[in-house]
Amino acid sequence: MIIEGERAAAASGQTYQVVNPATGEVVDEVPNGGPEDVDRAARAAEKAQKGWAKLAPAERARILHKAAAHMLDKVEEIAPILTREQGKTLLESRIEARRFGENIAWFADLADKIHGEYVSLPDTTTYGLVIRRPIGVTGAIVPWNFPLTLAANKVAPSVAAGNAVVLKPSSTTPLATLRCIEALIEGGLPEGVVNVVLGPGTGEAIVTHPRIRKVALTGSTPTGKQVMAKAAPHLKKIVLELGGSDPCIVLEDANLDEAAKAISVGRFFNCGQACLAIKRLYVQEGVVDGLLERLVERAKKLKPGNGMERDSRMGPMHTETQRAEVEAQVQDALDRGARIVYGGGRPEGDGYDRGYFVNPTILVDVPDDSRMVTEEVFGPALPVMTIKDLDEGLARANDSPFGLGSSIWTADMKAARRAVDELEAGYTWVNALQIAHDELPFGGTKESGFGKEHGIEAFHQYTEQKSVVYGLV
Ligand code: NAD
């Protein structure tokens, strides 16, 4: 773990192993922390935050830029660590490691741009100000699918706003995160401003720790509900970035080549283990065949393999449980009458026997009551549904407990406008690849959670407003 700038063992002395999902090999052994370690990290963060918040904002910005630049110099060292612990391809790991440093730099730019308000009051002897202050110590709880970008989404706005952080990576993906935070510290981030605790027992301890004033969780919807319940007695601020089942609507006037490219990336990137991912595809009847043909062509190029190998285009699933879950969801659709038009099953042959590999899979005739439609599918399987028109597409797209991302492909601006207005989601892409941009606030609605990451909104959410009255006596 990292507490007060130093590598630290668990108070209990316990450890656990991190395993490579492509080979089953042990990658490393790390501390298995618990509540005592969270307490130590929270106290270290509280001490560091006082000094950090007192720095001139421009100095904080300078320190964060320097630390981010140092971390970005280490991308080639960090990317293989991420591939070995998570399974994703080296290309995906490089993109993700770069995004970590870029995100720190993006929020560093905001560190000295905190604005407040002057407010006139009813008399002539007083006036009001609304200022923004840091919250104090914040907690960050991260899943295994994008360990680095999802950590940066929380750490970057928090520290830029003058807070300190206790960060908990997923138990199965701690290694690249440790190295990223260590690189920030080597690059000049003061000790204790970001601390890392490891182990399954540390999540709940962060949520209930009295010195940690806000917690941001990215995880599944059931975990979000548990965190909300545990945070409630402490009246703790929370941000919940939870599961999704993003619909994508393709109308007959869409540019099918571009749509197929974006849908393929949107579904199969990171072996389909993404929160923002195209998980339900609704295609107008006249273009179903044309789009399927293009999607199948693209899926054929996605060779599963060990992420460390140059010709692998899709890594393994992260765990055996994850693979079993997606396979069960596909089987459920087949049992209800769906058909596989591409893929299905596991790849066979050398190198596939010890990892959790699956083939990219595309299905049609998937009924609306099947698990692939009603649940989140966290793997590379895409159900394709036929719709008559936009009305049907919007109704079926919205018939989901989730509301994270959504997208539409059409040349008709009126149809696009209706989708933007009516899709129940925190994000709608119109004729564009589902990428979450640093510049735009990102977060879900319905059972996908609440609160924002990215954008100036996330930065503001790591501050508290305070009203001030100045008397002129
Ligand atoms: P998970 O909910 O099992 O775990 C997420 C993190 O929460 C882990 O660090 C875990 O140890 C911790 N945790 C688990 N139970 C906890 C508790 N009771 N109290 C405190 N912490 C607890 O999720 P996962 O399987 O690691 O990740 C996959 C899920 O994350 C999917 O549902 C996916 O959609 C979601 N996700 C959402 C977003 C988003 O931005 N909305 C992004 C990526 C992933």
- Complete DSSP assignment for 214-270: EEEEES-HHHHHHHHHHHGGGT-EEEEE----EEEEE-TTS-HHHHHHHHHHHHHGG
CA 449 to ligand 1: nearest atom: 41
C-alpha 212/C-alpha 233 separation (Å) is 13
Average pLDDT of the residues in 65-80: 98
Q: For ligand 1, is residue 454 a contact (CB within 6 Å)?
A: no
- Nearest Cα to Cα of residue 204 among 174, 230, 241: 230
C-alpha 269/C-alpha 244 separation (Å) is 15
Average pLDDT of the residues in 337-343: 98
Q: For ligand 1, is residue 319 a contact (CB within 6 Å)?
A: no
Determine whether 459 is exposed, middle or buried from the number of CB atoms within 10 Å of its CB (0-12, 13-18, 19+). buried
Identity at 313, one-letter amino acid code: R
Average pLDDT of the residues in 145-174: 98
Q: Nearest 5°: CA angle at 153, between 87 and 142?
A: 50
Identity at 431, one-letter amino acid code: N
Q: For ligand 1, is residue 148 a contact (CB within 6 Å)?
A: no
For the beta sheet containing 212-218, the strands, ordered from the edge strand earlier in sequence to the opposite edge, are 6-7, 2-3, 194-196, 164-168, 137-141, 212-218, 237-241, 449-450
Return the HEC string of 346-390: CCCCCCCCCCCCCCCEEEECCCCCCHHHHCCCCCCEEEEEEECCH
Q: For ligand 1, is residue 203 a contact (CB within 6 Å)?
A: yes
For a ligand 1 pocket test, name from 149, 168, 220, 271 the mutation site with the most ligand atoms within 8 angstroms of its C-beta. 220
Residue range 94-131, pLDDT digits in tens: 999 999 999 999 999 999 999 999 999 999 999 999 99
CA 224 to ligand 1: nearest atom: 2
pLDDT at 152: 98
Q: Is 330 helix (H, G, I), strand (E, B) or coil?
A: helix
Q: For ligand 1, is residue 243 a contact (CB within 6 Å)?
A: yes
Q: Is 462 helix (H, G, I), strand (E, B) or coil?
A: coil
Query: What percent of the chain has a predicted confidence (pLDDT) above 70?
Result: 100
pLDDT at 17: 98
- Nearest Cα to Cα of residue 309 among 27, 87, 71, 40: 87
Q: For ligand 1, is residue 376 a contact (CB within 6 Å)?
A: yes
Q: Is 421 helix (H, G, I), strand (E, B) or coil?
A: helix
Q: For ligand 1, is residue 277 a contact (CB within 6 Å)?
A: no
**Residue 457 CB: number of other CB atoms within 10 A?**
15
**Residue 290 CB: number of other CB atoms within 10 A?**
17
pLDDT at 472: 87
Atom 22 of ligand 1: nearest residue by CA position:
203
Average pLDDT of the residues in 342-368: 96
C-alpha 374/C-alpha 197 separation (Å) is 35
Residue range 215-226, pLDDT digits in tens: 999 999 999 999
Average pLDDT of the residues in 424-449: 97
Q: Is 128 helix (H, G, I), strand (E, B) or coil?
A: strand
Query: What percent of the chain has a predicted confidence (pLDDT) above 90?
Result: 99
C-alpha 32/C-alpha 359 separation (Å) is 34
pLDDT band of residue 473 (cuts 50, 70, 90) is: confident
C-alpha 432/C-alpha 12 separation (Å) is 49
Q: Report the separation in Å between the CA atom of 242 and the middle of ligand 1, taken as the mean of its atom positions.
A: 7
Q: Nearest 5°: CA angle at 69, between 66 and 74?
A: 135
Q: Report the separation in Å between the CA atom of 471 and the middle of ligand 1, taken as the mean of its atom positions.
A: 49
Q: Which residues pair with 361 in a beta bridge?
A: 381
Pairing of strands 407-409, 26-31: unpaired
Q: Report the separation in Å between the CA atom of 169 and the middle of ligand 1, taken as the mean of its atom positions.
A: 10
Average pLDDT of the residues in 64-80: 98
Residue range 22-57, pLDDT digits in tens: 999 999 999 999 999 999 999 999 999 999 999 999
- Nearest Cα to Cα of residue 366 among 287, 302, 289, 282: 282
Atom 15 of ligand 1: nearest residue by CA position:
223
| 241 has a pLDDT exceeding 90 | yes
Residue range 364-412, pLDDT digits in tens: 999 999 999 999 999 999 999 999 999 999 999 999 999 999 999 999 9
Q: Nearest 5°: CA angle at 170, between 166 and 174?
A: 80
Q: Residue 271 carries which DSSP code?
A: G
**Residue 62 CB: number of other CB atoms within 10 A?**
16
Question: Following DSSP, what letter does each residue of 424-447 receive, concatenated?
Answer: -SS--EESS-----TTS-B--EET
Cβ 198 vs Cβ 31: under 8 Å: yes
Residue range 197-209, pLDDT digits in tens: 999 999 999 999 9
Average pLDDT of the residues in 289-302: 98
Average pLDDT of the residues in 238-249: 98
For residue 208, which phi and psi values (nearest 5 degrees)? -105, 0
Q: Is 317 helix (H, G, I), strand (E, B) or coil?
A: coil
Which residue's structure tokens are 């990290």? 41
Cβ 74 vs Cβ 179: under 8 Å: yes
C-alpha 415/C-alpha 284 separation (Å) is 13
Mean pLDDT, all residues of the chain? 98
What 468-471 contacts at long range (C-beta under 8 Å, 24+ apart), as own/partner pairs, is 468/128, 468/129, 468/130, 468/131, 469/121, 469/126, 469/127, 469/128, 470/126, 470/127, 470/128, 470/129, 471/125, 471/126
